[in-house]
Structure 1
Amino acid sequence: MIKEVCVENFTDIPAAIRAGAGRIELNDNLAVGGTTVSRGVMAAAAQYTREAGIPLVAMIRPRGGDFVYSEEEVAMMIGDIRTAAECGVPAVTFCAVTPDGRLDTKLMELLIAAATPMEVVCHMGFDTIVHSQRQATIDWLIDHHVTRILTHGGPLTLPIGKTLPNIKAYVDYAAGRIGILPGGGITNANVDEITNYLGVDQAHGTKIIRY
């Protein structure tokens, strides 16, 4: 079981790893769902996790709010991806959506190309894609070698108990072709029950372990 701990800045990383974190997702501004940290934080986190033998995933998101990005924001994201690579970060997470609620495949192709050869993860922007497009989105992400999808299965305003059937449908559809990483409301108290129900071996959260 991989327990991916979502942290804000560098501060919590040492304690999270000591407490058993199997992977770290590095963010700033968790109050708005996470944004990209500074270069200095990214470099320190990459060095610490590398020496600890723990995978690191860096959030690539220039602001809170939606996942529809301007040309200026795209340039920022590509710059941040290059910074992550320069800092030795092994994986980055991002998602871009069109105004009508579809995966922005043109932008995603640009970002994925910029990230090569780093591992790419699709974050919870996936949950803002219209439901009828989610299977097609999963297929596209598989075809473009994205490693996994972080999903709550619905709006974060809903408790995860209400959205688990949706996540299970993604797991079943993906059929092992891409990782489905449940998150949003997963804690140390419910992680085993949720992962057993979904049939997955990884989960994500800020409170998924005690530290």
Structure 2
Amino acid sequence: MLKEVCVENFTNVPQLIAKGADRIELCDNLAAGGTTVSHGVADVTITYCHSKNIKVMSMVRPRGGNFVFSKEEVDMMKRDLVHLKTLGTDGVVLGCLNDTGWIDEDAMISLLDLAKGLEVTFHMAFDHISPQNQLKAIDWLVERGVHRILTHGGPLDTKIEDNLVRLNEYIEHANDRIIILPGGGISNKNLELVTSELNVREVHGTKIAD
């Protein structure tokens, strides 16, 4: 079982790796759902994690709030992605939507082009796609080479245990073409339940290595 631990700075990274974190998702401002970290935080964290043979997935998101980004914000994301790539990040975590409850295809295609050679996770923006479009969105992301989808299976104010049926629908539809990465509210207390019910090989959270 691969445990991806979400962190918002370097401070706890050594301790979390010592406790069993297998991969780090690096972001700032977790209270807003995660945004892009500073140059210094990224550089130090990536260097340290690589010295421990731990991969780093870096958040590319210019602000909190919704996932509908302006042209200028998408340009910021492109610059941050290129910068993180030069620092040696193993992957990026991103997601852009339009105001109709669907993927911002133009923004995503331009970002994915810059992300070639990196792992890509489409983050919890997925949970803000219209429910009737989510299975189609899985297909769209598969076709464009995205590696995984981070999802809570429903609104973040719900318990992940209550979303297992929906998460299993995603997993069944994905059919091993893309990794469905459950996250949001997973801890050591419910980790065994979630992983056994979903039969997943990767999980994501802030408290799964405590």
State if a TM-score over 0.5 links the two structures: yes
Unaligned residue ranges in structure 1 (runs of 5+): none
| Structure 1 match to 2:158 | 158
Q: Residue type matched to 1:209 in 2? A: A
Deviation of the 1:12 alpha carbon: 1.3
Equivalences for residues 123-134 of structure 1 within 5 A? 123-134=123-134
How far apart in 1 are the matches of 2:69 and 2:105?
Answer: 13
Q: Secondary structure at the match of 2:146?
A: coil
Does 1:69 find its partner at 2:75?
Answer: no
- TM-score scaled to structure 1, two decimals? 0.98
Q: Secondary structure at the match of 1:121?
A: strand
Deviation of the 1:136 alpha carbon: 1.0
| Structure 2 match to 1:107 | 107
| Residue deviations 1:102-145 (CA, integer Å, cap 9, x gap) | 01111100010111111111000000000111111101111111
Deviation of the 1:165 alpha carbon: 1.0
Q: Secondary structure at the match of 2:58?
A: strand
Q: Secondary structure at the match of 2:67?
A: coil
Q: Residue type matched to 1:122 in 2? A: F
| Structure 1 match to 2:93 | 93
Q: Residue type matched to 2:116 in 1? A: T
Does 1:202 find its partner at 2:202?
Answer: yes
| Structure 2 match to 1:82 | 82
Q: Residue type matched to 1:181 in 2? A: L
How far apart in 2 are the matches of 1:159 and 1:179?
Answer: 21
| Structure 1 match to 2:28 | 28
- Equivalent residues, number: 210
| Residue deviations 1:141-161 (CA, integer Å, cap 9, x gap) | 111111000000011011112
| Residue deviations 1:153-208 (CA, integer Å, cap 9, x gap) | 01101111211111111001111110000000000111111011001011100011
Does 1:122 find its partner at 2:151?
Answer: no
| Structure 2 match to 1:42 | 42
Does 1:176 find its partner at 2:176?
Answer: yes
How far apart in 1 are the matches of 2:99 and 2:147?
Answer: 25
Equivalences for residues 129-140 of structure 1 within 5 A? 129-140=129-140
Q: Percent identity?
A: 47
Does 1:2 find its partner at 2:8?
Answer: no
Deviation of the 1:58 alpha carbon: 0.3
Q: Which runs of 4+ in 1 moved over 3 A?
A: none
How far apart in 2 are the matches of 1:59 and 1:71?
Answer: 19
Deviation of the 1:36 alpha carbon: 0.4
| Residue deviations 1:59-78 (CA, integer Å, cap 9, x gap) | 00000000000011011100
| Residue deviations 1:68-105 (CA, integer Å, cap 9, x gap) | 00011011100100111110001001000010100111
Unaligned residue ranges in structure 2 (runs of 5+): none
Q: Secondary structure at the match of 2:133?
A: helix
How far apart in 2 are the matches of 1:102 and 1:14?
Answer: 38
Q: Residue type matched to 1:151 in 2? A: T
How far apart in 1 are the matches of 2:19 and 2:122?
Answer: 26
The two structures, once aligned, show a CA RMSD in angstroms of 0.7
How far apart in 2 are the matches of 1:135 and 1:20?
Answer: 33
Q: Residue type matched to 1:55 in 2? A: K
Q: Residue type matched to 1:91 in 2? A: G
Deviation of the 1:31 alpha carbon: 0.4
